[in-house]
Structure 1
Amino acid sequence: MYSNFMEHGIEYAKQAVKEDDTGNYSKAFQLYMNALEYFQAQLKYEKNQQIEKTIRERCLGYLKRAEEIRAVLDNGGSVPASNGDASVAAQPKSSPKPKDGGGKDKEDPEKAKLKAGLDSVIIREKPNVKWSDVAGLENAKLALQEAVILPVKFPQFFTGKRKPWRAFLLYGPPGTGKSYLAKAVATEADSTFFSVSSSDLVSKWMGESEKLVSNLFQMARDSAPSIIFVDEIDSLCGQRGEGNESEASRRIKTELLVQMQGVGSDDHKVLVLAATNTPYALDQAIRRRFDKRIYIPLPDLKVHLGDTPHNLTESDFEKLAQKTEGFSGSDISVCVKDVLFEPVRKIQDAEYFMKSSDGMWVPCEPKQRGAVKTTLQELDAQDLASKVLLPPITRADFDKVLARQKPTVSKADLEVHERFTMEFGEEG
């Protein structure tokens, strides 16, 4: 069936050029989009490198022309004529005119409405999540610092061929901290932060979804430097050609391809940050738009304890790591939070206390030297509660909590993400 993709793409491209030449720009835009869909489908199966190169060159030309037309249909304004690049032989030479004949300063009321709808996705107050709050993930944090912090603070570093990364895909099992890491980026970066989900960009009205995508990127460029964070991007950009794929879904994906093609130009300064739990579900063309694809794995239990007093050894942590295999970040967070309350429970249940060398009361066994039969409530009645010292966390505390908690990430899920990392990504 894929052998017909190329033929359909060429036919749609010819029709698009014809409509473009006659000034029917709305129809031309849709035909360009249809052509791009078929060309992208052909690329999935094409084995001949020369043909693949030709298709990619044509796609770049059609993407550029579609973006020019979209800009005019949305904003009103002039578009430069094609430069006659031989790699895009069918690319039209004419430039569409504004719909209303207005100038650039006159904003389309429809565009103003779409902007107002997207205004809510701009995070104007920083989430107050710092790099140090994100447990582990050193490689991911380093890569994001290179993309976000350094270009703003030290623009002189990024000249010539050295360009900052412009698109990141964070993937991994649910609950590993992908969204949390995005919040840290928003806090640390001196940039406008747009946080969107599929519901922000999907509209029931025909043609409005792709306009929302276009306006989102335009708003980000107007507010540059800026960051667009798309959570659960797989719900927007699943594999093309799936049986349940709608026309609206195809148009959204094509518009994202158009917009992300523009991200990375010197004058845009827009970083696209996306997260997904199912990287294999992403459309191949969308996936290739991300410069960096970083695996956010299940976290280390040790880093969640922080500086809380404990008497666990490295051997204990190794054995606990085996017990918590398959635990997500949120699983471990709940586990550690439960463990942190174990010393409090010991204090509350204790019937004997003794004084430590520094004069603090600590719970103890009845037969321990210096043991005094009393309770926390009795010590509080004597105004001695401030002198009660919580015991350190022990291995037994973890064993007790883990006996009643199970992981939420299956081994099969982990294998999928590890295989994707070997093929397309890198470790966080």
Structure 2
Amino acid sequence: MAAGTTLQKAIDLVTKATEEDRNKNYAEALRLYEHGVEYFLHTIKYEAQGEKAKDSIRAKCLQYLDRAEKLKEYLKKGKKKPIKEGGESSAKDDKDKKSDSDDEDGDDPEKKKLQSKLEDAIVIEKPKVQWSDVAGLDAAKEALKEAVILPIKFPQLFTGKRIPWKGILLFGPPGTGKSYLAKAVATEANRSTFFSVSSSDLMSKWLGESEKLVKNLFELARQHKPSIIFIDEIDSMCSARSDNENDSVRRIKTEFLVQMQGVGNDTDGILVLGATNIPWVLDSAIRRRFEKRIYIPLPEAHARLVMFKIHLGNTTHVLTEQDLKELAGKTEGYSGADISIVVRDALMEPVRKVQTATHFKRVSGPSPTNHEEIVNDLLVPCSPGDQGAVEMNWMDVPSDKLFEPPVTMRDMLKSLSRTKPTVNEDDLKKLRKFTEDFGQEG
């Protein structure tokens, strides 16, 4: 972080704190004052140039710290108006500080630094993927609704011994929609905080920092609960432990185990959602903590039919329902991602026709600039022998006069012949074996 950026961040925080103080939101003002002072101290220690600048920042720090102490004492005593003078019992304050997690966060710069790193993992903007956008996978969707949506909507159902699932593992071949399901969860669980983390978020070159990041991730999730922690490609961090593995990697796995289901760790309101293509490499203790292990298989014919319709969207085409059923039948063994590539390649065929055409002819159709208006002078690529064919290339066609050639069955079959499935039979056998031993069908 650049020096100017750190100082500016501190100024922004204390400005906001002053505003909250003025609006009598004293708890929020206290948090912002402490956070701002931390940034000021970082600037003094590492980035400020010259003693004059440092002295100026120190004076500001003292001013904001003094106000923060008054607010802290006021909040503890619960008075109706903020006190004017600072309290005397510093020993009592120190004791309260240890017991109060918010104060602890404010006074532990290392912890705040780690948590600020992880705040980027919070998905603020929802992906806008609905359950209806996910073709098939009914069992997986039901399990996720049971674990995420129902406990939020009907908390009274989950009392006593009936508790929602704490860990769900989605496993299956690449491209079958595991991450897409997670996007649907992020969209549908609109009252939950969604954390999307990968190994790069939790791995650090500094000794001991990686496991602290794991711990702080779960602490952050507890602060923002109900929370969902989605870990894509979880096998990269939680593979089976062995005698000759790196000590830091072993400590990360141990911290995961402790945080997911360890003594003294509260996991209420937290769901850990994992996704992997190779579940057999996961450590057995990690596998046990994922109470539901759901196999996300290659799509069946009816799901492939829906996928073709979803990926075609509102693009102009002349495919009938029978054509789409035929395509669904011809794509046995293709994953959802493979079908997406087939359709995308076919959608480029009209563009290629325009690019390679030597002749165009005039047709009637909706205007490209106003679809409600029908015009008679649009140009479409054609064969040289077609009636009304004019020799010209795409450079000679005005941009508002091109008629979009529709996608045809021939385009789809041509694309299908070029695109091969990416999942091999050996991996499928291993996944089926894992499902028989440990999982359930999705």
Cα distance in 2 for partners of 1:304, 1:166 equals 34
Higher mean C-alpha displacement, 261-270 vs 183-192: 261-270
Shift of 1:334: 1.5
Aligned counterparts of 2:404 and 2:218: Cα–Cα separation in 1: 55
Deviation of 1:262 after TM superposition, in Å, equals: 5.4
- Residue number in structure 2 paired with 1:140: 140
The structural deviation recorded for 1:221 is 0.6
Give the superposition deviation at 1:305: 2.8
Determine whether 1:259 maps to 2:259: yes
Structure 1 position 373 matched with structure 2 position 377: no
Shift of 1:230: 0.9
8 A contact 1:177–1:296 mirrored in 2? yes
Equivalence for 2:290: 290
1:334 is aligned, of 336, 341, 344, to 341
- Asked if structure 1 preserves the Cα contact closer than 8 Å seen for 2:383 and 2:389, the reply is no
**Percentage of matched positions with identical amino acids:** 57
Cα distance in 2 between the residues matched to 1:329 and 1:244: 38
AA matched with 2:137: L
Structure 1 position 408 matched with structure 2 position 429: no
User: For structure 1, which segment, 188-197 or 206-215, has the greater mean C-alpha deviation from structure 2 after superposition?
Assistant: 206-215
Letter in 1 for 2:309: L
CA distance in 1 between partners of 2:345 and 2:165 (Å): 39
Equivalent-residue separation in structure 2 for 1:334 and 1:267 (angstroms): 40
- Give the Cα–Cα distance (whole angstroms) in 2 for the partners of residues 378 and 200 of structure 1: 48
Aligned counterpart, 2:436: 422
Are 2:186 and 2:194, in contact at CA under 8 Å, matched by a contact in 1? yes
Alpha-carbon RMSD: 3.5
Counterpart of 2:269?
269
Does the CA contact (< 8 Å) of 1:354 and 1:372 recur in 2?
A: no
**1:316-351: CA deviations, max 9, x gaps?**
556544643443333221211111233454566475
For 1:301, the equivalent position in structure 2 comes to: 304
Give the CA deviation at 1:157: 2.7
Structure-2 change in CA distance of 1:422 and 1:124 (3 Å): same
AA of the residue aligned to 1:424: F
Q: Contact 1:168/1:272 (CA < 8 Å) preserved in 2?
A: yes
Show the 5 A alignment for 1:57-136: 103-105=98-100, 106-107=104-105, 108-136=108-136
Count of residues in Structure 1 that have an aligned counterpart in Structure 2: 322
1:218 aligns with 2:225: no
8 A contact 2:229–2:272 mirrored in 1: yes
On the 8 A contact 1:264/1:270 being kept in 2, the answer is no
Whether 2:408 is the aligned partner of 1:393: answer yes
What's the counterpart of residue 193 of structure 1? 194
> What is the TM-score normalised by the length of structure 2?
0.63
Greater CA deviation, 263-272 or 205-214? 263-272
In structure 2, how many angstroms separate the alpha carbons of the residues matched to 1:198 and 1:146?
27
Q: Compared with structure 1, are the counterparts of its residues 118 and 353 closer, same or farther at alpha carbon in structure 2 (3 Å cutoff)?
A: same
3-state SS, counterpart of residue 422 of structure 2: coil
Q: 1:311, 1:195 → 2: CA distance?
A: 38
* 1:311 aligned partner, one-letter code: L
For 1:271, what is the secondary structure of its paired residue? strand
Whether contact under 8 Å (1:151, 1:164) holds in the other structure is: yes
What CA deviation, in whole Å up to 9, does each residue of 1:178-204 have, x standing for no partner? 222212211221211111111222233
After the TM superposition, which residues 230-269 of structure 1 pair with which residues of structure 2 at under 5 Å, given as runs? 230-241=231-242, 244-261=244-261, 268-269=268-269
Unaligned runs of 5+ in 2: 1-93, 366-373
Match of 1:63 in 2: none
Amino acid at match of 2:222: R
Q: Which amino acid aligns with 1:419?
A: K
Change (3 A) 1:211 1:378: closer
The alignment's TM-score, normalised by the length of structure 1, stands at 0.65
Report the residue type matching 2:212 in the other structure: K
- 1:353 and 1:363 in contact (8 A); partners too: no
Q: Which amino acid aligns with 2:170?
A: L
Q: Structure 1: which 5+ runs fail to align? A: 1-99
> Aligned residue for 1:65?
none
Which moves more between the two structures, 232-241 or 138-147? 138-147
CA distance in 2, matches of 1:112, 1:354: 65
Does structure 2 conserve the Cα–Cα contact (< 8 Å) formed by 1:166 and 1:263?
Answer: no
CA distance in 2, matches of 1:289, 1:144: 16
Equivalent residue of 1:156, what SS?
Answer: helix
Paired residue for 2:63? none
- In terms of mean alpha carbon deviation, does 261-270 or 338-347 score higher? 261-270
Cα distance in 1 for residues equivalent to 2:239 and 2:399: 65
Deviation at 1:163, TM superposition (A): 2.2
Is the 8 Å Cα contact of residues 259 and 265 (structure 2) preserved in structure 1? no
Q: Secondary structure at the match of 1:403?
A: helix
Q: Report Cα offsets for 1:361-388 as digits up to 9, x if no partner.
A: 88777889xx543579699669754xx4
1:130/1:234 Cα in 2 relative to 1: closer, same or farther (>3 Å)? Answer: same
Contact 2:349–2:407 under 8 Å retained in 1: no
- The answer (yes or no) to whether the contact 1:182–1:229 under 8 Å persists in 2 is yes
Indicate which of 331, 339, 349 corresponds to 1:324: 331
Name the amino acid aligned to 1:194.
Answer: F
What is the CA distance between 1:149 and its match in structure 2? Answer: 1.6
